[in-house]
Structure 1
């Protein structure tokens, strides 16, 4: 028996080192302690009388030593299965005098008691320190050399001191189907009281959270995050944290927003200065839609095309330099910022134009008219912004169709000359009116000469 006690002490040490909390996490349990055997229950003939001496310890057989061990495993849904081995010495046997309610306690000769039993338990209040249970099972019991199989049932209670260490008390009725007087082993109740240790849970990362409940079983973590770590301590577990090493905000998945402008630092081109989302978190002081860092005039609104600065109007004519063909000379908006072509200039142009000489019936110039064309060219160059229409006219000699074509060709010839000598084509339009717009009579040679002419008209911007 002394060796048995040493075995139980060794088991206690091993189990204590490996114990962990909660049945579902620590499925294994070992219990050991003392047991007491009472035959009074089986000797009684009436149900009420069977319990009348339930707590009468004078009738109990108790071995003053560790005398039972139970090993069990949780199998789910508050059920567990275990094996119990027990020893005792029987020196008190209660018998009833047949035909009476008289009982007698005798010493049968210090029988040695051995029991091996299988037990299925169902527990209540699994999450409480007070954990009652019921059990059923069966086994085999020996008294010295005699033995009987038994069907067992009973109740018990676990009182948990900590999550994995508790006191267990249990009463098990062992029923044999032989007559009480003739059975090798009389029907009896066996009481147990001992210490229970639960163990067997796996916690790979050692964070106190079992692998089956640990969302990060291989990383040391925190209970509030199901065992996952929070490296930067921002209250967001690393597995859900887009910036796990830098404290941040939940609304940004754990990433920081240093300047508080609602844009994470990683996406903020100006992380230390509050800005606007449309400019990647950079400020726009003058509200012109250009970030201050890219704005050459951050305090004055201006267009992006001018690097955030307002367009200048150097000559103060109301036409911005970018639109002003004559930015240093005052002009008019109608003439794109340049001086207007005056009536005097137009008169001079038309005086030249009416003296242009063409070869008879053709659109080619006579040699002596070249100085006139060159004088017109110089005037056109003085007003590089102005646009003009060149109109061709003829006298009434010949058919209308021929005169129309000739007037168009002569106006076009003047246009081509000007273009070939540096005037932009988009500034000049040519057209012909034939003989439809005479300015003198076609009945005289002098009148016809006036009607054969080229006229210049100024094109306004709104035309």
Structure 2
């Protein structure tokens, strides 16, 4: 007993990290010695004393086999409960105390064997302790004394002193109540069995089934690899998925697991041009002419130019002094005042109307006569020289006949001319048509010559 106490005190002094038999270390094996004490049980034998009487009188009452004499295997069930099975052997030579003179009653080395099962509850979590792990238990077993056996009902109190995560010094006292009459047929008497030993906890919970116990698994719910402490590396690039920004594609550590296919120093997820080496400032896209515009968005990738001109240098193709970027008519020389487009002068306006006056119609109809085709084509040529100018085709009549008929006829003739022009290359949105009937004469309707002048078509600039 002296050596046992010395070992216990030394163990307490070196305790550092501690754990217990729990879901992370569900299995435990305890190897140690046991002592059987028949005396302090309150039993019916005259050699037995009151319950707990001289409970620690090891020298007079304890039967101890000087070797490893007890083996216990336990399994954690959950919520603080464990089940254990134990086997023990001993030799009984102390059977209690003579009630008359207080001397120890000896017997002739009776053999002792016991098999016991116990359900115990750890109080470690209740007491909020780490290394100090007391428990209470209840169970039953079968004990043989010189080959005569009897069932027992057991109650136990034990303490594990956890020295490390997997190693504890354990002590336990178990009260074993025997229901048989010892004096009748030499059944084992009710007794206490004390034990002390070393407990080794092992095994563990492996939620994700990857062979790494949860207590050591940094990713306990996802199967992983031992070299990554249980975490997965799906793409096999040596970077765990939890730290890999591209877990499904092998990459480089410097880019947090993402690849850089074109080797331009911009990882693929941030590279707008991942297969062509480019510049970081352009999100990995190239800029061949160095104008700061990526080639894919550069209208002139081999020639530097401003972004405002789509990466192309400013030009003035028509040489009118207005840069193409500001020129509404970049292919036709114009004036600065008219945004690079040619202006319709009064002379041109007169020429248009001179030609328009030569357009002839069938009498009383809006059908254009064939001999007017040439003059209409001349008008088209002039209109094409002023691609942004808009014009109104006006129809006029003399005062002969009903005014309503004259109005309809002027409308029809104006639209006939407009349709001819639009059908031959002039944008319809540049032309409008209107008839004024007899309302805008330019000569007297009282003479034949005057009426001939009033029957006309004009093409006037919309200002």
TM-score (norm 2): 0.69
Pairwise CA distance, 1:387: 4.6
| Whole-angstrom distance in 2 between the partners of 1:181 and 1:420 | 134
- Tell me the CA shift for residue 130 of structure 1: 3.6
Alpha-carbon contact 1:317-1:332 (below 8 Å) kept: yes
Query: Cα deviations across residues 182-210 of structure 1 (Å, max 9, x unaligned)?
Result: 78334332222333334455776554557
Which whole-Å CA distance do the structure 1 matches of 2:69 and 2:141 have between them? 17
| Residues 285/397 of structure 1: CA separation in 2 closer, same or farther (3 Å cut) | same
Contact 2:88 2:114 in 1 (8 A): yes
| 1:388-412 deviation line (CA, Å, top 9, x unaligned) | 4443433333333444445455556
**In the TM superposition, what are the counterparts of 1:25-424 in structure 2 within 5 Å?**
25-42=24-41, 43=47, 45-46=49-50, 50-52=52-54, 54-97=56-99, 102-125=101-124, 128-144=130-146, 146-176=148-178, 184=186, 185-199=188-202, 201=204, 205-207=210-212, 209=214, 214-217=220-223, 219-220=225-226, 222-223=228-229, 227-230=230-233, 231-232=236-237, 234=239, 236-237=241-242, 242-243=247-248, 245-247=250-252, 255=258, 265-266=268-269, 268-270=271-273, 273-275=279-281, 282=285, 291-295=294-298, 296=300, 300-302=306-308, 307-309=310-312, 312-314=315-317, 315-318=319-322, 320=324, 324-325=328-329, 327=331, 329-331=333-335, 334=338, 337-351=340-354, 354=357, 374=374, 377-378=377-378, 381-384=381-384, 385=386, 386-408=389-411, 411=414
Judge conservation of contact 1:275–1:284 (CA < 8 Å) in 2: no
Question: Cα gap change, 1:320/1:153 in structure 2, threshold over 3 Å: closer, same or farther?
Answer: same
In 2, Cα distance between the equivalents of 1:245 and 1:92? 74
Deviates more, 1:163-172 or 1:235-244: 235-244
Distance change (3 Å), C-alpha of 1:182 and 1:104: farther
Structure 2 counterpart SS, 1:329: coil
Shift of 1:156: 2.2
Q: What is the TM-score when the length of structure 1 is the normalising length?
A: 0.69
Q: 1:222 to 1:422 in 2, by over 3 A?
A: closer
For structure 2, the residue ranges without an aligned partner over 5 or more in a row are 1-18, 42-46
Query: RMSD across aligned C-alpha pairs, in angstroms?
Result: 4.7
Contact 2:232/2:240 (CA < 8 Å) preserved in 1? no
> Matched residues in 1 for 2:366 and 2:239: separation?
89
**Where does the alignment leave 5 or more consecutive residues of structure 1 unmatched?**
1-19
1:128–1:241 Cα change, 3 Å: farther
Cα separation, partners in 2 of 1:192 and 1:410, compared to 1, 3 Å:
closer
Structure 1 residues 51 and 448, CA gap change in structure 2 (3 angstroms): same
Partner SS, residue 445 of structure 2: coil
